[in-house]
Every structure is written in C-alpha cells, then in structure tokens.
Structure 1
Amino acid sequence: MMSSRMAGSALIRQLGPRLFSAGATRAAAAGEPSYTLLLTGSAGPAAAKPPVAALMRLFPARMASTTAAAPADGSEEASEPSKSAAAADAAKEPSAAPANERKAITSYWGINPNKVVKEDGTEWRWSCFMPWETYKADLTIDLKKHHVPTTFLDKLAYWTVKTLRIPTDIFFQRRYGCRAMMLETVAAVPGMVAGMLLHLRSLRRFEHSGGWVRALLEEAENERMHLMTFMEVAKPRWYERALVIAVQGVFFNAYFVGYLLSPKFAHRVVGYLEEEAVHSYTEYLNDLDAGKIDNVPAPAIAIDYWRLPRDATLKDVVTVVRADEAHHRDVNHFASDVHYQGMNLKEAPAPLGYH
C-alpha cells in the first residue's frame, strides 16, 4: 500500500505544475509577481524582498485566483506579449478554458465543493450550520425546576447571578429582544471555555473525556445559534454592541479563571444563569401573548434550525429557545453535582441530545 508520503509526493507532481507553473506564467504575462517567485524571493533583478514575500503569504487570495488579471493601463485588450504568453499557456494546458470563462478557485486544490441539499432536494442556504445539525426541541422539559443552594459555593453562585441580573434589568427593562441578544453572547461563553479546558486536560492526561468535551462545545454552538436568530429579530444599537464586547471580555476571563479554580462553582453559576434565562424567556412569551410585542413571522434561520413549520412565529422561536435553556440548566447543575461528589466528568455519562 502506498504510504501517505508517497501519495503526497505523487499528488504534488500531478497538480504542482498546474497550480504554480501556470500561475507563474500568467502572473508574468500580466506584469505581476508570481506566487512561486514570492515564496522563494529569487526572481532575478526584480526579486521580492523577504518582508514583501512574508506579506504576500498572508494575503494570497488574488494570486490563488485563476481569473485573468486586468491590463495595467485599464484598456480592455491585453498587450501583444500578454496574448502570446496566454497562447503559450493554453498550449501547455489543452484542457484549460479561455481566459474570459475561467472561474476563481474555491478551494486549495481548485475542486468545487458539493452542494448541500435539504430533505426535499432544495439547496441548503446556511453556512453556519448543516442540515444534520438541526433538530426538534423537546418542549416537555420541566421549566420550573430549581436547584436549591445548600453549600457555600452554591449560595455564592446563586447570589452572584442574582446580583448580575440587577443591572441587566435596569439597562434593558422590557426590551426582551435586545436582552436575549445580550444573554446569548454571554451564555455561549461557558460551554466553549469548559470544553476547551477539558479538551486540554484530556490531552495532558492521555485520558478520555467521557463525551463531555463534545457536549459542552455543542452547548456553546447552540447558544450561538440563539444569538444568530435574535440578531434577525432585534437590531442592536451601536452602544449595545459596545456593551456586548465589554461584558463578553470581562465574563470570558472571569469564567476562565473561575473554572480553573473550581469547576463545580463554574457549572453551578451557569446552571443559575440558565434558570434566569428560562425566567426571562417566560416573561418574553407573556408580553407576546399580551400583545405588547408584535408576534412577527419567525426568521428563516430559526425555521430551518429547529425544524419549525413554515408559518412559525416569534412565539414559536422563543418557546424552543426557552426549552434549550432549560436543558442547559439541567446539564450544568448535573456537571456541578458530579464535581461535588468527587468524580471527574469522564466518569459520568455525558448527556446526549440535551439541546
């Protein structure tokens, strides 16, 4: 069987001339430095200096394109040397299309990606998530569940979250769309931080994570999709965006340090944050039912992500988001209980399908 090194060498021999030699010929014909020359920095008298070569490595998009460059003088027709160079290039590559029919390379090897389609055969229009990542939310979950704080760390986590809610209520008041946007930018941080730290610990200790790394990263991704949805509902003002940057910067570092010191405390904080999120989304639904907020049609991204009916409304979106938050609440309280019992997360079964 051919080794990976031999296979790589054979692939480079096959595709190398197309990717670099032809590109160098076209670049020379257009009076531009070629990608190969910039990498080596040795093109004779007009050789690129090392700093220039380094910069061009950072910005290779123009040089990776197969689209013919426009003439330097702005005229529609290329000069005679350019035509002769293009003819020589076409002679070397009989299968190459004319210059006006070439398309930009969309991947490293110039291979067009396959189109992703939905179950009904229509083209998938989202790049932030794939059809196999969609799901129907479990709306049967208990929304009133509350973890009663008993230990000192539990009480500290509970009152920390309650204290953080005060300025949030003052700033956003009844503007639940903007409140949800702020909430999701914060709620998407813990899963990523915890998943990252567990991932690194798994690497250091040469041990399995018990599925918790994937579970926590999926939680962060789910929260990010909440944000992408509410961005379509509430258009944040410039000062709200600035507040998000400030809050996220402070919260990320605080949670990172807190998780290093006590994973039990960190997960308990998230559990109580999710309890507050369930409460906030319940108030959001109450205002929708009372007519204080327009029950507009659901954003298209929410319909595809949660597999909602085509005539779904904002109320349906808030309902499934609230169910997601209730699942995250239970997962983080369970993770905190596992640490409290002196177990590692790898020793406890990770929650599956907890969205």
Structure 2
Amino acid sequence: MSSRMAGSVLLRYVGPRLFTAASISPAAARPLLAGGEGIPAVMVRLMSTSSPAAAATASEAKEGGEKKEVAIKSYWGIDQTNKLLREDGTEWKWTCFRPWETYTADTSIDLTKHHEPKTLLDKIAYWTVKSLRFPTDIFFQRRYGCRAMMLETVAAVPGMVGGMLLHLRSLRRFEQSGGWIRALLEEAENERMHLMTFMEVANPRWYERALVIAVQGVFFNAYFLGYLLSPKFAHRVVGYLEEEAIHSYTEFLKDLEAGKIDNVPAPAIAIDYWRLPASATLKDVVTVVRADEAHHRDVNHFASDIHYQGMQLKESPAPIGYH
C-alpha cells in the first residue's frame, strides 16, 4: 500500500475523533483512555486548559451545581486580579503603558541644534524632508492638533522599522546590537504615545484619517527599502524630520500663547505618561512632546554619523534614557 493510500485511510479512521475532540471533556474521555483508544491524555489536558472561553464557562460551584461565570478582563482572556495602583492609591487605568514606563521629560535640551548637510546623502535627505513640508503646510494650515496627529503616525514608523531590521540582523549574524534595538523600539513607542495623547485633543475629519492610512502605507514601504539600502540615509532623514517636528511644535506653542488655540487642560493620559502636575495644560503637553522630538533628533543624527564613519550601530552603544 502506498504512503498516500495509507494516509487517506488513517485520516478517515482517526479524523472524526480528532475533529470532535474539542467537545469531549476530560471526564468523558477517561473511559476511552482506559480502553487504550480515543484521545491521548496530553491532548485532553491541553483542551481543558488552553481555551479561556472553556475555562470561563466550565467552572461550577461546589453546592447546587450552578455554573459560576468568570469575567474575562483582558483581550487575551487573562483574569487580571492584581491591580496596579498610583502613588496616591488610586487604580492605574492605562493598559497601553505601565507606571514604570513613565518619565519626566528633559525640557532643557537645545532646541536650535541643526545638522548641517555636508555629504550628498545628507543633502538629499535634507531636501527630501523640506519638500514634504510644503504640502503638509497647505493641507493642515494652522490646525496644529490634526497636524500633530498626522506627524506622529509617520514619526512612529522609523523606530519600528529600524528596530525590526536590526533585530533580524542580530538573529542572522548571532551578534549583539549594543542596545540599539531597544532604543529604536522605545523611540517608536514614545512617538505612538504622542499620537495617543493628541487623539484626545484633535478631532480629525474622515479625509484626514484616510490620508493617515495612505501616508503610512507609502512611508513604511519607502523607509523600509531606504533602510535596507542605506541606514545612514534613513537615520539622517529621521533626524531632519524631527527638526521639522520641533519647528511645528514651536509654532503650535506660539498659537497657544497668543490665544489662537484654547489652552485646554492636559489629557489624563499625558499627565500620567509624563508625570505632569494635575493642573497641567495643553501647553505643557506640547512642551514635553517637543523635548522628546529633540532627543529623537539627536539620536538619529548620531546613528547616521556612526554609519558615516564606517562603523556599525552594534559597535557603539545606544544613548541611554534619551527620551
């Protein structure tokens, strides 16, 4: 008998038992196991413990035989019994970040620093970023809340792409990364938290949301290819993008100070993430976000300089606590 015929016969014989195994409880499967047939014991144990829905509905009370409902409190079906608390004893309500991931922004950083383009790649990166600023100014004009939202959806891409590619290279070459993988992924996470904050402030229109989807798709693929071809060029582009972000947030602050934009109370997520005082306002939020962008500017220009000197990122440790 050929292997194909033997496989089909085995499937016809064992198939119905395997596909109906999910409905058999361990108690019902025990007699089958005793006779040497039926479902393997390991499979029964996995079925009884791996399904959150089954675990939530299968628990019964000792008295009366009534089923006790188990509330699933997270996406993965994990019952989170240990609550995180703030310093004042109130419950921590954010699932997108934890108390130990918060920090106080360093607002004393030099905001005027500019990397003068010297090489051809630097000039291409500089003028590429400058050319992208004009359509952005025309589209958003003085709507800085939505402009910031759009900016952060783009700014959160490079760190994730760079960290992912360095991660894969580390796996291929069996080598350390000098902390750069974590540094770039933390940059992406920080930019994403900027977006989560400004979503509480801005009210984007439907076509602005559609634009975000289009721009993110184009930029992700373009940056991915650019990083594969030249990490130096890719990091330099991000450095200049962060310089433009500093300029945009500075203009945002000017309008807030002039009263052209309401200086509303800071979103609760921003107060917890940057450890701002309870009385913080939107101006305080924009100030710390701008400081974050200045740190990202320095990190990416530094990364590009390392490649320019013929070194690998892994050979020079990543800046610690850059944001």
Q: What TM-score do the two structures reach when normalised by structure 2?
A: 0.82
Superposition deviation, residue 122 in structure 1 = 1.4
Q: Calculate the aligned-residue CA RMSD, in Å.
A: 2.4
Q: 2:257 aligns with which of 289, 295, 317?
A: 289
Q: Residue by residue, what CA displacement relative to the aligned partner does 1:73-101 show, whole Å, maximum 9, x if unpaired?
A: xxxxxxxxxxxxxxxx95xx7389832x4
Q: Tell me how far apart the structure 1 counterparts of residues 281 and 63 of structure 2 sit (CA, whole Å).
A: 52
Q: Tell me how far apart the structure 1 counterparts of residues 21 and 255 of structure 2 sit (CA, whole Å).
A: 61
Q: 2:133 aligns with which of 145, 165, 168?
A: 165
Q: 1:337 and 2:300 equivalent?
A: no
Q: 1:229 and 2:197 equivalent?
A: yes
Superposition deviation, residue 121 in structure 1 = 1.9
Q: 1:132 and 2:122 equivalent?
A: no
- Per the alignment, residue 28 of structure 1 pairs with none
- Per the alignment, residue 248 of structure 2 pairs with 280
Q: 2:267 aligns with which of 287, 296, 299?
A: 299
Q: Contact 2:72/2:79 (CA < 8 Å) preserved in 1? A: yes
Q: Contact 1:303/1:310 (CA < 8 Å) preserved in 2? A: yes
- Per the alignment, residue 103 of structure 1 pairs with 70
Q: Contact 1:65/1:105 (CA < 8 Å) preserved in 2? A: no
Q: 1:204 and 2:176 equivalent?
A: no
Superposition deviation, residue 106 in structure 1 = 4.8
Letter in 1 for 2:56: T
Q: What TM-score do the two structures reach when normalised by structure 1?
A: 0.74
Q: 1:218 and 2:186 equivalent?
A: yes
- Per the alignment, residue 223 of structure 2 pairs with 255
Superposition deviation, residue 113 in structure 1 = 3.7
Q: Share of identical aligned residues, percent?
A: 77
Q: What are the within-5 Å matches in structure 2 for residues 21-100 of structure 1?
A: 35-37=22-24, 63-64=53-54, 66-67=56-57, 94=62, 98-99=66-67
Q: Contact 1:65/1:104 (CA < 8 Å) preserved in 2? A: no
Q: Tell me how far apart the structure 2 counterparts of residues 246 and 110 of structure 1 sit (CA, whole Å).
A: 35
- Per the alignment, residue 313 of structure 1 pairs with 281
Task: Specify which structure has the bigger relative contact order, considering alpha-carbon pairs within 8 angstroms and separated by 6 or more residues.
Answer: 2
- Unaligned stretches of 5+ residues in structure 1: 1-32, 43-56, 69-88
Q: Residue by residue, what CA displacement relative to the aligned partner does 1:15-35 show, whole Å, maximum 9, x if unpaired?
A: xxxxxxxxxxxxxxxxxx884
Q: Tell me how far apart the structure 1 counterparts of residues 63 and 127 of structure 2 sit (CA, whole Å).
A: 70
Superposition deviation, residue 320 in structure 1 = 0.1
Superposition deviation, residue 157 in structure 1 = 0.0
Q: Tell me how far apart the structure 2 counterparts of residues 176 and 197 of structure 1 sit (CA, whole Å).
A: 32
Letter in 2 for 1:192: M
- Per the alignment, residue 39 of structure 2 pairs with none
- Unaligned stretches of 5+ residues in structure 2: 1-19, 30-46
User: Cα–Cα, structure 1 residues 235 and 350, in superposed 2: closer, same or farther, change >3 Å?
Assistant: same
User: Cα–Cα, structure 1 residues 239 and 98, in superposed 2: closer, same or farther, change >3 Å?
Assistant: same
Partner-residue secondary structure (3-state), 1:233: coil
Q: Tell me how far apart the structure 2 counterparts of residues 109 and 143 of structure 1 sit (CA, whole Å).
A: 45
- Per the alignment, residue 123 of structure 2 pairs with 155
Partner-residue secondary structure (3-state), 1:126: coil
Q: Residue by residue, what CA displacement relative to the aligned partner does 1:327-346 show, whole Å, maximum 9, x if unpaired?
A: 00000000000000000101
Letter in 1 for 2:220: F
Letter in 2 for 1:193: V
Q: Tell me how far apart the structure 1 counterparts of residues 220 and 78 of structure 2 sit (CA, whole Å).
A: 39
Q: Contact 2:52/2:77 (CA < 8 Å) preserved in 1? A: no
Q: Tell me how far apart the structure 2 counterparts of residues 226 and 173 of structure 1 sit (CA, whole Å).
A: 20
- Per the alignment, residue 349 of structure 1 pairs with 317
Count of residue pairs brought into register by the alignment: 281
Q: Residue by residue, what CA displacement relative to the aligned partner does 1:150-170 show, whole Å, maximum 9, x if unpaired?
A: 000000000000001110000
